[in-house]
């Protein structure tokens, strides 16, 4: 029986190690996850956020090395951690707004969905079985040293997992790429590197009165910078305070915060964006432009894409800075 319990222990160890390393590579995702998942205030201290990846890595290593009572301790700690994660995602999936958890840093699908809940239930079950292995007096490393034939068993199990993963693999459909943990988009160019005019997607939004907004009618009067924001997103909370200032700094470009809620929700979410907001409650326009939240895209007066899409708080801020610099340069030369 102990040999059958090696897989759950190794599963927990691998998940913890991958998660910890991913969090170390993308600490901003951890900060956002703490906000988005509404982690209790007492647990949001910066030291705790920065320690979490190292705790996960330590638990992952300890699960492999520990035996008997030591494995009981680390498995119990792992079980407690996974139960806490399960509680957070169950609560998040019931929130009215979509939530990104960043559970594995920049890896995988960060959206919290029912699939996330079932994934965490499976992890809790694996941690419970790891505890059972410890109670049996055995451990992963001890079992492998005692019975070398288990190496072949684990190798075939790993092969089966790899085949399953490759069969089910499906690349993302979003026309964006990840660079240094920040998702960005690039405008198409020809063989000489010259920009190829690309019409902006046909997108319909709503104004604050709930009336239909057709971008094709708005953009001929002025270039439009659309900043896609979700009131349930921690990174969006960081971008939102700058929208009003950007609206002034980027004139004559029109800046609009496109919110992933219905117009009626403005007063209960971000009333300070009144006069600057459009709405995309079903995310149709956001997906058409290939944006996440926060994300941004610039549309020229000719109706073509002039910049973006860019995604992530840092990328959006840098994008706005680039636009401002171009406007200043055009003003000087004009």
pLDDT over 90, % of the chain: 17
Note whether 317 and 222 are same-domain residues: yes
Note whether 90 and 202 are same-domain residues: no
Residue 14's CB: how many other CB atoms inside 10 A?
15
Identify the domain boundary among 106, 133, 168: 168
Cα separations in angstroms, 262 against 11, 148, 166, 251, 280: 42, 61, 39, 27, 7
Note whether 127 and 196 are same-domain residues: no
Q: Which tokens belong to 199?
A: 């019409």
Provide the mean pLDDT of the chain: 79
User: How far is the first Cα of the chain from the last one, in angstroms, to the nearest whole number?
Assistant: 79
Task: Say if residue 225's pLDDT is above 90.
Answer: yes
Cα separations in angstroms, 326 against 253, 320, 329, 330, 331: 12, 10, 5, 6, 9
Note whether 182 and 143 are same-domain residues: no
Number of H helices, E strands in the chain: 13, 9
Q: Which of 38-52, 170-184, 228-242, 291-305 has the lowest mean pLDDT?
A: 170-184
Note whether 55 and 186 are same-domain residues: no
Q: Which tokens belong to 132?
A: 């059972």
The CATH number of the domain holding residue 313 is 3.40.30.10
Identify the domain boundary among 168, 199, 231: 168
Note whether 315 and 226 are same-domain residues: yes
Note whether 206 and 235 are same-domain residues: yes
Note whether 195 and 228 are same-domain residues: yes
- Residue with the two structure tokens 């068993």: 153
Cα separations in angstroms, 245 against 251, 271, 311, 327: 10, 16, 20, 15
Note whether 196 and 328 are same-domain residues: yes
Between CA 191 and CA 202 the distance in angstroms is 27
**Tally of domains in the chain:** 2
Note whether 49 and 131 are same-domain residues: yes
Note whether 152 and 192 are same-domain residues: no
Residue range(s) defining the domain that contains residue 144 = 2-168
Cα separations in angstroms, 271 against 136, 208, 268: 58, 11, 7
Q: Is the overall model pTM greater than 0.85, yes or no?
A: no
Section 185-201 average pLDDT: 61
CA dihedral 9, 13, 16, 19 (to 10 degrees): -120
Section 173-202 average pLDDT: 51
User: Quick one: pLDDT at residue 173?
Assistant: 40
User: Quick one: pLDDT at residue 103?
Assistant: 59
User: Quick one: pLDDT at residue 74?
Assistant: 93
3-state SS, 3-33, equals HHHHHHHHHHHHHHHHHHHHHHHCHHHHHHH
Could you please report the per-residue DSSP string of 26-65?
Answer: -HHHHHHHHHHTT--GGG--HHHHHHHHHHHHHHHHHHHH
Note whether 201 and 273 are same-domain residues: yes
């Amino acid at each position: 029986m102990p040999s059958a319990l090696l897989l759950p222990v190794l599963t927990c160890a691998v998940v913890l190690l991958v998660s910890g390393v991913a969090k170390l590579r993308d600490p901003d995702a951890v900060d956002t996850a703490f906000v988005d998942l509404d982690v209790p205030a007492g647990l949001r201290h910066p030291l705790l956020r920065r320690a979490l990846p190292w705790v996960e890595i330590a638990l992952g290593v300890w699960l492999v090395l520990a035996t008997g009572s030591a494995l009981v301790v680390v498995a119990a700690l792992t079980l407690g951690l996974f139960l806490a994660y399960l509680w957070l995602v169950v609560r998040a999936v019931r929130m009215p707004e979509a939530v990104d958890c960043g559970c594995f840093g920049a890896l995988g699908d960060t959206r919290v969905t029912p699939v996330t809940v079932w994934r965490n239930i499976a992890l809790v079950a694996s941690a419970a079985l790891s505890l059972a292995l410890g109670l049996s007096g055995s451990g992963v490393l001890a079992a492998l040293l005692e019975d070398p034939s288990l190496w072949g068993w684990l190798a075939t199990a790993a092969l089966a997992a790899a085949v399953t993963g490759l069969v089910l693999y499906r690349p993302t459909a979003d026309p964006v790429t990840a660079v240094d943990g920040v998702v960005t988009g690039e405008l198409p160019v020809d063989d000489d590197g010259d920009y190829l005019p690309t019409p902006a997607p046909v997108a319909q939004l709503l104004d604050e009165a709930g009336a239909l907004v057709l971008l094709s009618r708005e953009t001929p009067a002025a270039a439009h910078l659309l900043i896609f924001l979700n009131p349930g997103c921690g990174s969006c909370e960081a971008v939102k305070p700058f929208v009003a200032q950007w609206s002034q700094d980027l004139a004559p470009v029109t800046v609009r915060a496109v919110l992933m809620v219905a117009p009626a929700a403005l007063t209960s979410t971000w009333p300070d964006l009144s006069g600057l907001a459009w709405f995309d409650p079903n995310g149709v326009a956001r997906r058409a432009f290939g944006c996440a939240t926060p994300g941004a895209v610039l549309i020229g007066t000719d109706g073509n894409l002039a910049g973006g899409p860019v995604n992530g708080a840092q990328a959006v801020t840098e994008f706005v800075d680039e636009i401002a610099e171009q406007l200043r340069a055009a003003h000087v030369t004009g």
